[in-house]
Structure 1
Amino acid sequence: MNQEKIKELDKIINKDYSNITGLVIQKNGTKVYENYFNEYTVDNPIHIYSVTKSIVSTLIGIAIDEGDIKSVDQRVLDFFPYYTVNAGKKTIQEITIKNLLTMTAPYKYKTEPYEKFFASQNPIQDALDLLGGDGSIGEFNYSAVGGTHLLSGILAKATGRSILDFATEKLFSPLGINVPSNIVLRNKEEHFAVMSDKNTSGWAVDPKGLNTAGWGLFLTPVEMAKIGQLYLNNGVWNDKQIVSAEWMSESTREHSCCVQWGNLAYGYLWWLIDENSYAAMGDGGNIIYVNTKNQMVISIASLFIPEAKDRIEFIKGYIEPMFEI
């Protein structure tokens, strides 16, 4: 890409996407653009919000590959045998891992109680208490925090290890991703403080020490791009199969559809953009975008702002056309 186009791209980011901290673009496995903004550098991780979900999906796939989890059709309560189901919550007995991965589990609320979850001293217990209800299994019902967090509980039960330890050995270390430690957040003030601290690195844990599944992971844009490249490579990294090609394919095909957000198709905690592209997306405009036809991976790290401008529109309308040749 010539210097004039680079200047133009930088200008658009500074003008219209001013909360971006870093952007990495790769084509055919080669980095073709990398730049940082808002006083961030290549070494500064950022909280990737719901992009965390897609990485947890990857870890579920690895656990299935390793035989720790039998299949996505295992029932959630198989992993929590101590949980007592009352007479009014029989639906919960039929909910599977696949329902959590595809956002097709019902819950006992109309609006997810974020404050209850973040203030909880036992989020897994509260998530189980909210699972089920009168809704139908199979209908898309996005759970930003509670329901998704059950996947962390399942991973920990299935592997007998902490999520961070499992992820470090099976995914992060092979890819050269550095997530050094758990992040303990003792109150609301600490929670908000780390979100804009460019020196924070690690993965948040709940009060029970369980890494969060719906949010809480800090990565650099280069590390985000590595996850995207792993998917583009069908699970292979440096000639080693990190995740099975079957999981790569299955997790990025349509299993459900979010009608309320423009009929956007959904895989296993991955958003499907069109027949050639899919993305992990998080608040503020954080994104790992993969286009299999154009052999492109784009990672965008961003500081949180309400109603951030659409990154897919930015990628499809501007970034991708710059690399058509």
Structure 2
Amino acid sequence: MAIQTGSSLPRLSIEQLGISPQKVFDFLEYLKAQSIELHSFMLLRHGHVAAEGWWKPYEPALPHMLFSLSKSFTSTAIGMAVQEGLLSTEDRVVSFFPDDLPDEISPNLAAMTIRHLLIMGTGHTKDTMNALHQAEDGNWAKAFLRLPVEHEPGSYFLYNTGATYMLSAILQKVTGQTLLQFLQPRLFEPLGIHHPAWQSDPRGINTGGYGLKVTTEDIAKFGQFYLQKGVWNGQRLLEEGWIETATSKQISNGNGGDSDWTQGYGYQFWRCRHGIYRGDGAFGQFCIVLEKYDAVIAMTSGTNDLQGVLNGVWDHLLAAFELGEALEQGEALEQDQAFEQDRASACQGSAAKQLQRELEALCLEPPVFQRGSEREGMANGQKYKLAQNDFGIDHLRFQFNEQEAEVYIQDAAGEQSLKLGRQTWKPGRLTLFGEEEPCAGSFTWKTPHDLLLTIRTIETPFSHTLEVQFLEDGAIEIHRRVNVSFGATESAPLRGEPVS
């Protein structure tokens, strides 16, 4: 086992760590073949990084939105609070919120404990999160406690993000600290996780079930911490018993089979096939712990095909450990030899070197159609008044030069601009899709009349495509779509009229 020092995990070659480079390469090829969009990938074994890569414009230093992978961090905080005697898993939920209870407390609500929140066994029949978001007074805990609890707690599994929020709210009630503040000295600082950020509700309580942002290496450290049963740098941070319980099956969520969402659920961790467990989040944010192989896999993504990602891991990366072990024992690996021979004509070197070149070249290429159009001259500097829209944009205008386009956007807060590279990525910052965040933008001409803008918000899974059609009457029509979404991925066309 590696001894962690400093902020970064130690590195060793993939061959030294007994992993087949060909099978890792095959995993990358599988992602391409299945059109699965990963943003980052990190593979650890024996406490060392064996392989890592980021698909440009995503970068190692950038945090990434974790969505429900945040839940596993919330569970960890509860474990630490239990360890310190601040609360118990058998504490009743209603006991923490005497001022927010409904006039009549149902038997099922009265019976609900912290453990029921942890195992997604609250007894609700639908996720409570929508009701929490709709609370007019911003009191999410009060809204949660007023919802009907149809089943006896512990008897019925339902994935319920509101339950994880309640864990956060309880922790803050008990400690006077947010989740983020509580975990800072207990987990984040010891693991060298710098500048974590967590969204909050209107009352300043971290959302718990989503909203955490950390880097891919931070996710990998978290997985390694669990693989090491709560020990880091020789110091025990969390009891081994808690980790064993949290990552084992505590409630049934289906009948097994080929789905990795029906293998059982622990304390905010999913059980997987092959005796593996994971934390995961919407659109493909993964922390996978493979105890049998002393390994961790961390990934961030922008895909709806989460099962497809896991299928690729099971089909290719598990074999990478098995073939690698044969290599360590001096056995011939015909597949790896063939891998080297097939690519020898393109570039000399071992399979590991070939894999490294592939990892370093990873890129989500921007769309490329036509480099330019005569429309650029006509549209240069022209202002377009937009119809009413969800973004609150009043008007926009374009400015083109040889290497880039600049889009000027006017809303109630003033004017902002974003530069986009001509058929290449250009870094920038934008508030168009919410809070100001870093992004990468590019543009190309799909036809002489259709301008295609691609904007990736590179700390999230989201990539936004705006197709701007220049119409014969001088107006524009904007068609917007997003790669992944909890709702519709396409918006109604938006018309813009030219103004002087």
Q: TM-score, normalised by structure 1?
A: 0.85
Deviation at 1:15, TM superposition (A): 3.7
CA distance, structure 1, for counterparts of residue 114 and residue 157 of structure 2:
14
Is the contact between residue 74 and residue 179 of structure 2 (CA under 8 Å) also seen in structure 1? no
> Is the alpha carbon distance of 1:17 and 1:227 closer, same or farther for their aligned partners in structure 2, counting shifts above 3 Å?
farther
> Is the alpha carbon distance of 1:34 and 1:99 closer, same or farther for their aligned partners in structure 2, counting shifts above 3 Å?
same
77-86 vs 240-249, which moves further: 77-86
Is the contact between residue 286 and residue 300 of structure 1 (CA under 8 Å) also seen in structure 2? yes
Is the contact between residue 250 and residue 266 of structure 2 (CA under 8 Å) also seen in structure 1? yes
Deviation at 1:323, TM superposition (A): 1.9
Deviation at 1:125, TM superposition (A): 1.4
Aligned to 2:47: 29
- Letter paired with 1:271: W
Aligned to 2:131: 116
Deviation at 1:290, TM superposition (A): 0.5
Aligned to 1:87, the other structure's residue is in SS state coil
Aligned to 1:84: 101
Aligned to 1:214: 209
Deviation at 1:279, TM superposition (A): 0.5
- Letter paired with 1:98: R
Is the contact between residue 144 and residue 162 of structure 2 (CA under 8 Å) also seen in structure 1? yes
Structure richer in helix, relative to its length: 1
> Is the alpha carbon distance of 1:93 and 1:293 closer, same or farther for their aligned partners in structure 2, counting shifts above 3 Å?
same
Aligned to 1:199: none
Give the structure with higher Rg (CA). Answer: 2
> Is the alpha carbon distance of 1:263 and 1:145 closer, same or farther for their aligned partners in structure 2, counting shifts above 3 Å?
closer
CA displacement 1:73-131 (0-9 Å, x = unmatched): 11111211223343362321111000000111112xx433544333432222111212x
CA displacement 1:252-298 (0-9 Å, x = unmatched): 12110102766321111111114731110111121111111111100
Which blocks of at least 5 consecutive residues in structure 2 are unaligned?
1-13, 15-19, 326-500
- Letter paired with 1:207: P
Aligned to 2:289, the other structure's residue is in SS state strand
1:311 aligns to 2:290 (yes or no): no
Aligned to 2:155: 139
Aligned to 2:165: 149
CA displacement 1:27-73 (0-9 Å, x = unmatched): 1111111001141111111111111111100110011111111x211
CA distance, structure 2, for counterparts of residue 177 and residue 13 of structure 1:
29
Q: TM-score, normalised by structure 2?
A: 0.57
- Letter paired with 1:218: K
1:55 aligns to 2:73 (yes or no): yes
Which of 74, 77, 86 matches 2:91? 74
CA distance, structure 2, for counterparts of residue 35 and residue 13 of structure 1:
13
- Letter paired with 2:55: F
Higher relative contact order (CA 8 A, sep 6+): 1
Aligned to 1:104: 121
CA distance, structure 2, for counterparts of residue 206 and residue 35 of structure 1:
34
> Is the alpha carbon distance of 1:72 and 1:64 closer, same or farther for their aligned partners in structure 2, counting shifts above 3 Å?
same
Is the contact between residue 21 and residue 320 of structure 2 (CA under 8 Å) also seen in structure 1? no
CA distance, structure 1, for counterparts of residue 227 and residue 29 of structure 2:
29
Structure richer in strand, relative to its length: 2
CA distance, structure 2, for counterparts of residue 91 and residue 7 of structure 1:
51
Aligned to 1:34, the other structure's residue is in SS state strand
Deviation at 1:142, TM superposition (A): 2.2
> Is the alpha carbon distance of 1:64 and 1:219 closer, same or farther for their aligned partners in structure 2, counting shifts above 3 Å?
same
1:297 aligns to 2:315 (yes or no): no
RMSD (Å) for aligned C-alpha atoms: 2.1
CA distance, structure 1, for counterparts of residue 300 and residue 155 of structure 2:
31
What is the count of residue pairs matched by the alignment? Answer: 299
- Letter paired with 2:200: V
> Is the alpha carbon distance of 1:7 and 1:277 closer, same or farther for their aligned partners in structure 2, counting shifts above 3 Å?
closer
1:129 aligns to 2:124 (yes or no): no
1:45 aligns to 2:45 (yes or no): no
Is the contact between residue 128 and residue 144 of structure 2 (CA under 8 Å) also seen in structure 1? no
Deviation at 1:158, TM superposition (A): 1.5
Alignment of 1:171-186 (within 5 A): 171-180=187-196
- Letter paired with 2:151: G
Which of 248, 252, 258 matches 2:247? 252
